[in-house]
Amino acid sequence: MRLRILDIDGSLPSQLGLATALADGLAQCIDLRDEELTLRLWTSRRRLRHLAARLAALADPAGGGPLVTFYGSGDYHHLATMLMATTVEPFTVIHFDNHPDWVRVPATHNCGGWLNRALELPQVERIVTLGLCSEDLVHPQFKTGNLAALASGRLEIHAWRAQPSRVWGRIGDGPGHRQRGRYLVWNCLADQEWATFLEVLVARLPTEAVWVTIDKDVLRPADASTNWDQGEMPLDALLAALERLAVSRRIVGVDVCGEYSAPRFLDPLKRIAAWFDHPRAVCTRPEALARNDVTNRALIATLAEVLP
């Protein structure tokens, strides 16, 4: 496993686990603090191309195996598509998140709609989203959710816990939902036996290669403190999923976001968007932020064990 930190918002290098890995030469840290404001929430295609070229010009971290990239707040989750684009073989994306990140408007590189840009990559066969509890599934068509991808089967959503979603038109049934009249009824993971679900999930994946993208807001507050409203998935469930995926599939890349960092803006539109989208009450006490360090250490230890 090769471990890389993109230091965009200052949330990562000070964590004890990652600081130790850096000091021991087990991780690479790339200073991108000059990109913090331009990349937060959304960015341009030109800026992403510039960033991709900047990263490509640097030597990869030492060692073999898949590249694991940590890059700060979930406000930067749209960087996942740029990272995935470096893999050329067909792969399935396993997406852990409290939000679907599937809004079609605006059609930009933004943290709420990056999944649509990932679906545009020819090597992405399917995206499987796990763990949602957020209100994004309430009237998803009003919120421009990509129900067409859900209907086509290129997207699966497996909510952790969610009420039925009111929809118009025929979406059809899928592995994570059933349509009953004007509602999508979600097969909630909280009501299923986790190990059994993982067995069925892995058996259905269309590719041997898998990319894992993790936003830690999928986790319950006891396991992470983020910029966003959080889900209910226990850390042990996430770790078990990584272990099970690695047994039968080849993980070709991993990206991890979902730290907390104080949002700063020069763009007034971003400031307004953050005011509407970010939750009003976010716990930023030192003991709360320390949970991210503990969780990141567990993630790194698990990935180091299961990746080649």
Given a contact cutoff of 8 angstroms between Cβ atoms, the answer to whether 138 and 99 are in contact is no
What confidence score (pLDDT) does residue 281 get? 78
Angle between helices 16-23 and 286-306 (to 10 degrees): 50
Q: Which of 283, 271, 190 minimizes the C-alpha distance to 230?
A: 283
For 60, the enclosing helix (H) or strand (E) is none
> How is residue 163 annotated by DSSP?
P
pLDDT value at position 285? 82
Q: How far is CA 10 from CA 14, 34, 35, 245, in A?
A: 8, 11, 11, 31
pLDDT by residue for the chain (308 residues), tens only, comes to 899 999 999 999 999 999 999 999 999 999 999 999 999 999 999 999 999 999 999 988 877 899 999 999 999 999 999 999 999 999 999 999 999 999 999 999 999 999 999 999 999 999 999 999 999 999 999 999 999 999 999 999 999 999 999 999 999 999 999 999 999 999 999 999 999 999 999 999 999 999 999 999 999 999 999 999 999 999 999 999 999 999 999 999 999 999 999 999 999 999 999 999 999 778 788 888 899 999 999 999 999 999 98
The reported pLDDT for the residue numbered 57 is 95
Facing residues of 43 across strands? 109
Residue-level pLDDT at 12: 97
Output the pTM of the full model. Answer: 0.97
Contact predicate 225/281, CB 8 Å: no
Q: Give a three-class secondary structure readout of 202-241.
A: HHHCCCCEEEEEEEHHHECCCCCCCCCCCCCECHHHHHHH
Place of tokens 């999928």: 218
Residue 67 phi, psi (nearest 5): -90, 125
- Sign for the pseudo-dihedral over CA of 107, 110, 111, 116: positive
What pLDDT, on a 0 to 100 scale, did the predictor assign at position 216? 98
DSSP state of 190: G
Q: In this predicted structure, what is the pLDDT of residue 288?
A: 84
Query: For residue 80, what pLDDT is reported?
Result: 98
Specify the pLDDT at position 61. Answer: 84
Q: What is the pLDDT of residue 170?
A: 97
Which domains occur in the chain, in start order? 2-306 (3.40.800.10)
The residue whose two tokens read 């989750």 is 77
